[in-house]
Structure 1
Amino acid sequence: MAQELEIKLTLSRESSRQAYEWLLDQEGASPGARKQLINTYFDTGEADLNRRRAALRIRQAGECFIQTLKTQGEFVNGAHRRQEWEWEVPSADLDFSLLAKTSLANDLDLGQLGPVFETNFERQVVMLDDGEAVIECAFDTGEIRSGRQSVPLCELEFELKSGDEARLLVWARKLAEQVPFFINLISKAEQGYHLAGIHEPEPLPADADAVTRFFHGVSVLWLNGEVTSELSAAMGELESKLEGNTVRAAGSPGDVNLLDDLKANPVPMQVQGLGRLQLALLGC
């Protein structure tokens, strides 16, 4: 078992292209592999895995197959921290013996697992080594598919490979000055479950801080177009914090207007500067 620490950004295809070119031009950057990835996610008919906040997939890259089990983990300072198990397997079929070694075997009928949806995309990588951390920047472009339904996928993931985890936010802030994006807490798996019609994201616990609830609410808004009570309440709390100058200087009083923009036009991808606001709010 390993731990994964990453920041996931959602952006347009044009912004993704610009971000790739900008990152590749930075000191310490080098082009990594470009792969076509086919990912099949498995669950029971009652979505028991999803209810346990876990995701199970088999990823095919060429002739290589990797079986992966992930937990939802926690959101800390803009990044997701998850537990992850990975095993090489000989084919696209689940190896139940590997799952028997995890906690799933104790409370889940493994025989009920079957394919639910796919996430199929091209991954283009830039490796960053700035002397303080090594970060994998993975650009994923493709689609999520369940039955005859599909939705586009365009994401950038900053994943810490070694070094100082604070550098993830440093590089996200640098990129925010170059292209528009927003930090998305909805995983590829959650997008797939939503598309399959068997899961909707639930509000975070009431004791979650306003910044995290805002991030989650924006992500849910992007997914299903719903301005939830979670998002409305978080925005109300954050407006007072911004007006009270409790956000670090990068936020600036103008960021209050971005919240107004989001209220007037509740489409996260169309709110310029949303990612910069999110990064500034992490100082609240």
Structure 2
Amino acid sequence: MAEELEIKLTLGKGGIDAARAWLAGWGSGETTRKRLVNRYFDTPEQALNHERAALRVRQADAHYIQTLKTQGEFVDGAHKRQEWEWPLPGADLNLGLLADTPIAENVNLARLAVIFETNFDRETRLLTREGATIECALDSGTVVAGSRQRALAELELELKSGDSTALLELASQLVGQVPAFLNLVSKAEQGYYLAGLGEPASRVDSDEPVTAWLQALGIHWLTGEAGQVCREALDALHQVATRMGLEEEWRWALAQDDRATDWLFDTRLLRLQLGLLQRPAR
């Protein structure tokens, strides 16, 4: 079992090409390319979803990996969660590997079946910043559930070694260069929603104002419905934005039409998101 710490950015129109150009601007460095086919499993009762866990089998070329992830927590806009990985000889799920994990007690493993897929091309590059090593993964493909599908375009920044503050600093380099917003909605949550499962609107449940607002933005992007954040949290965020010199960006964000989603990829929003994460809201 390991811990994973990453920031995920959802990319807007032209974002894949812009992110690719941004990565190339870092100079020499090897870029690896893979086609990833990911099958996600759950029971008919969505036992894993209720446990806030995700289970998949990933095929990368001729290799197969079974992965279990917990939702974990959000730390300065990054996902921090537990992760288990096991190599497999083929595409079939190995239930025996799950016996010693936290889900074994509450999930009927025999009822697990494929419920959706996320299939995408991944370009990966390692960057070094202020003593930290960060893996940048550019993903372009689709989320598939039965006959339904949804485009997938993301840039993930995962800390491999060093100080976690380097993640936020690296993400800040993208402002004005790549149309993107910091999104707390995982690939698995996108799959559940596309499959008609789960209630993402009920997940704006954080007591931390910045996290609650970020969750609401992700829900708005996923569903088209405005995620609700309490007035006390909005007031706290307004105070932080003012202290960080982001009053103009905050008022702009509050004025946006909650029936539209194009504004999520405006430079002002990413600047605001990252600025609010520079210090805790108090």
TM-score by length of 1: 0.91
- Contact kept? 1:24, 1:31, Cα under 8 Å: no
The aligned counterpart of 2:249 is 255
Change (3 A) 1:232 1:196: farther
SS in 2 for 1:255: helix
Change (3 A) 1:280 1:37: same
Change (3 A) 1:265 1:47: closer
SS in 2 for 1:230: coil
The aligned counterpart of 1:24 is 24
**1:171 offset after TM fit, Å?**
0.5
RMSD: 1.9
1:49-73 Cα deviation digits (max 9, x unpaired): 0100000000001110000000001
The aligned counterpart of 1:199 is 198
**1:264 offset after TM fit, Å?**
6.0
- Contact kept? 2:64, 2:88, Cα under 8 Å: yes
1:246 to 221, 227, 243: 243
Mind listing any 5+ residue stretches in structure 2 that lack a counterpart? none
SS in 2 for 1:26: coil
- Contact kept? 1:181, 1:273, Cα under 8 Å: no
Matched, 1:185 2:184: yes
1:200-221 Cα deviation digits (max 9, x unpaired): 2223436x12111110000000
Change (3 A) 1:2 1:241: closer
What letter corresponds to residue 65 of structure 1 in structure 2? Y
Change (3 A) 1:13 1:139: farther
Identical pairs, percent: 45
Mind listing any 5+ residue stretches in structure 1 that lack a counterpart? none
**1:167 offset after TM fit, Å?**
0.4
Change (3 A) 1:264 1:102: closer
**1:238 offset after TM fit, Å?**
2.4
1:30-80 Cα deviation digits (max 9, x unpaired): 232100000000000011001000000000011100000000010011111
- Contact kept? 2:139, 2:152, Cα under 8 Å: yes
Counterpart-to-counterpart distance in 2, 1:277 and 1:78: 12
SS in 2 for 1:219: helix
Change (3 A) 1:203 1:234: farther
**1:87 offset after TM fit, Å?**
0.2
SS in 2 for 1:175: coil
Matched, 1:45 2:44: yes
- Contact kept? 2:176, 2:267, Cα under 8 Å: no
Matched, 1:124 2:123: yes
**1:233 offset after TM fit, Å?**
6.3
The aligned counterpart of 1:280 is 275
- Contact kept? 2:217, 2:227, Cα under 8 Å: no
The aligned counterpart of 1:54 is 53
- Contact kept? 1:180, 1:274, Cα under 8 Å: no
**1:189 offset after TM fit, Å?**
0.2
1:224-244 Cα deviation digits (max 9, x unpaired): 0111322776445423543xx
Counterpart-to-counterpart distance in 1, 2:156 and 2:90: 27
- Contact kept? 2:130, 2:166, Cα under 8 Å: no
